[in-house]
Chain A
């Protein structure tokens, strides 16, 4: 999902930085608030953020004959919402820009918007939609993680399509072309990521159910049901 340094006109770099910055500031504010209320949230942030570090470093082969990486943002999205997730993603993407020549400082705003904001925001929407229903906790986690991953790549496609509309067909046909490269490659990866992170969530529930209940991530009833189910 990385847009490479120099591959986005400066005007678009500026637009995406303007979108990303308020979200990051909101993330800092929310993080301070969560940690002031409950210091036990810090280890949970460590685990959920750790998976963003691990999964976004794994470049995996896919059906299209090219490689891509999962994002790992789903767990953090469920636990802390999209703004704090954006903050963690910004750290990972900054590391990759500075040391790996993946992305870059001018396109960092655009990459934060796709991986840290839009993907998690869509995932968070799914979570809010399913949280208060009778749907199994693990299915919710699976869907949030897979969809947050996939929409990161949909957003990257949109960012590139807006900057580079096709000569015939404009933004729409350009978007379809970029989706062919990014989103199709991502489908199998998103499914595996969803299953693996649902499994990780099972271990979090097994070890630290109280923090999930205290932060209001899932209700006590749902957590107890999830513990006895699997």
Chain B
């Protein structure tokens, strides 16, 4: 039990290293816009096919969030659905465990 929190410490180190890497990249890399790699991929598709980006039209009509704010809101909603599932189940399991242990 001497290493009870090994994984927690490793996770914190990994996250801190990730943050440090971001700060370093954003400070040193000129022209780093941190846009989505999906869009960079679409840009390369346009380049390889020799078709301008604006000529790519949806095959199936698609609703687009009218603004970045609404998009962020919907992404947060997606994360919230996941959070509720994870938190709910962990709570349920803890309750079950307590019940088994006490009686």
Contacts and interface: CB of A to CB of B under 8 A. Distances in A.
Nearest to A186: B37
A199 B4 CA distance: 12
Contacts of B48: 164-167, 174, 177
A6 B58 contact: yes
B90 A105 contact: no
Classify chain B: how many residues form its interface, as a range.
Answer: 35 or more
B10 A195 contact: yes
Given A53-B79, A104-B60, A43 B34 contact: no
Nearest to B50: A167
Interface string B1-19: 1011111101100110010
Interface residues of A, number: 74
Interface of B: 1, 3-8, 10-11, 14-15, 18, 21-22, 25-26, 29, 31-42, 44-45, 48-49, 56-60, 62-65, 71, 74-76, 78-79, 81-86, 88-90, 92-94, 96-97
A192 B15 contact: yes
Interface of A: 1-7, 10, 13, 43-44, 46-47, 49-68, 92, 95-102, 104-106, 138, 156, 160, 163-167, 174, 177-178, 181-182, 185-186, 188, 191-192, 195-196, 198-199, 202-203, 207-208, 228-230
Contact of B90 (A56, A92, A203, A229): A203
A67 B25 CA distance: 12
B86 to A, nearest CB: 4
4 cross-chain pairs, A with B, having the tightest CB-CB distances, nearest first: A53-B82, A65-B32, A50-B85, A54-B82
Contacts of B38: 1-4, 68, 102
Contacts of B74: 99-100
A177 B44 contact: yes
Contacts of A198: 7, 11
Contacts of A199: 7-8, 10-11
